C-alpha cells in the first residue's frame, strides 16, 4: 500500500472541499491528529476508516488507493503507452473523475 500517496489524495480532496482536518475528523468520528497522520502517510487506517474517508470526501475507494492498484481503478490503458504517457493519462482521468463527482453534488 502506498500510504503517502493515499494521504496526499485525502489532503488534496479535503482542501478542495474546504474542510479542515478537524471537520473531516468529526465527519468520520476520529481524532484530528489521526487525520494528520493519515495525510502524512505515517498512520494506517482500517478498511472501515478508508471507506468512511472516501464517503466523507465524496471520492471512490479507487481514487484513494489508485497508487496501490495495478489498474489504477480507471480501467485498462491503451497498449503501447510509455510509463510517462500512462501517468499523464491517469492524471487526466483522475481529474475528470473528481470533477464529475463535484458536478454531481450540485
Residue 33, CA distances (Å) to 22, 29, 54, 102, 104 in order: 8, 12, 18, 27, 30
Dist CA 13 CA 18 (whole Å): 9
The per-residue pLDDT for 87 is 80
Domains of the chain: 3-105 (1.10.260.40)
pTM of the model: 0.64
Dihedral pair phi/psi, residue 23, rounded to 5°: -65, -40
The per-residue pLDDT for 104 is 60
Question: What's the pLDDT tens digit per position in 38-96?
Answer: 999 888 878 898 899 999 999 888 788 876 655 545 566 678 888 888 888 878 877 88
Q: What is the mean pLDDT of residues 18-32?
A: 94
The per-residue pLDDT for 43 is 82
C-alpha cell at 8: 496526499
pLDDT interval class at 29 (50, 70, 90): very high
Amino acid at each position: 500500500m502506498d500510504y503517502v500517496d493515499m494521504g496526499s489524495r485525502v489532503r488534496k480532496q479535503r482542501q478542495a472541499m474546504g474542510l479542515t482536518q478537524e471537520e473531516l475528523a468529526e465527519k468520520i468520528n476520529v481524532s484530528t491528529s489521526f487525520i494528520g497522520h493519515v495525510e502524512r502517510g505515517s498512520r494506517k487506517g482500517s478498511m472501515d476508516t478508508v471507506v468512511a474517508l472516501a464517503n466523507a470526501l465524496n471520492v471512490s475507494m479507487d481514487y484513494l488507493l489508485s497508487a496501490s492498484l495495478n489498474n489504477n481503478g480507471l480501467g485498462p490503458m491503451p497498449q503501447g503507452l510509455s510509463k510517462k504517457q500512462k501517468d499523464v493519462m491517469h492524471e487526466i482521468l483522475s481529474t475528470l473523475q473528481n470533477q464529475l463527482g463535484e458536478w454531481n453534488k450540485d
